[in-house]
Structure 1
Amino acid sequence: MDRVQKLKDFLQKTPNDSFLRHALALEYIKAGDDKAAREEFEGLLTHDPGYVGSYYHLAKLLERTATTEEAIAAYEKGIEQAKKAGDMHALGELRGAYEELIF
């Protein structure tokens, strides 16, 4: 069984598991399915806006698919959430990627 299907099976048991949803989105990226990855990240962040690591990956996906304004918005929201969480590591990564994009 492939990883995407395994993660989907796990999510049937625990549909609101943010870690599993993040992992599924990353697997979609690996498989080249940016649309499904974006949907998964966006659904995850709607349900759990404090899952800071997903903002970086969503924004990178948006950059890669030439939706720059949406990528900027994802970085900004991630920066805000990282500050709230006191996650200085994530904050630094998000800021660095954000600044690289806008400057």
Structure 2
Amino acid sequence: MNSARIQLLEKYIEQEPSDPFNTYALAMEYHDELPEKSIILLNSLLADHPEYLPTYFKAAHLLWEEELWAEADQVFIKGIELAEKQKDQKAAQELKAAYQNFQFDRD
């Protein structure tokens, strides 16, 4: 975790609260060392910027890693639907493959 980068991203979020990338980048900074903080940030992105597709893959995986199965399942499904709606075939395929692995992992 890079504290200088975290401070910079927090400043960017303050300056441009409507840009979802900054919050996404901050969530990725917290991913390994403070996954609970990363989940909070990703959940806020899902609520405030539901059309920001990159959030779904990372949020679903982190929820999966934290064994929050029901939440991960919902995020995968919503992400697949959004990718198809946005006609982003690559993202849809990646989400579907990850979702399939998630389902196998749970069985």
| Structure 1 ranges of 4+ moved more than 4 A | none
Q: Post-superposition shift, 1:84?
A: 0.8
Counterparts of 1:49-60 in structure 2, within 5 Å, are 49-60=50-61
Cα root mean square deviation, aligned: 1.1
Q: Post-superposition shift, 1:45?
A: 1.4
The AA in structure 2 aligned to 1:59 is: A
Runs of 5+ unmatched residues, structure 2: none
Which whole-Å deviations, capped at 9, do the CAs of 1:47-72 have from their partners, x for residues lacking one?
Answer: 11111111010011011111112111
Counterparts of 1:1-103 in structure 2, within 5 Å, are 2-30=4-32, 32-103=33-104
- For 2:65 and 2:46, locate their aligned partners in 1 and report how far apart those are by CA, in whole Å: 19
**Percent of residue pairs identical:** 33
Q: Post-superposition shift, 1:27?
A: 0.7
- For 2:57 and 2:6, locate their aligned partners in 1 and report how far apart those are by CA, in whole Å: 21
Runs of 5+ unmatched residues, structure 1: none
- For 1:22 and 1:72, locate their aligned partners in 2 and report how far apart those are by CA, in whole Å: 20
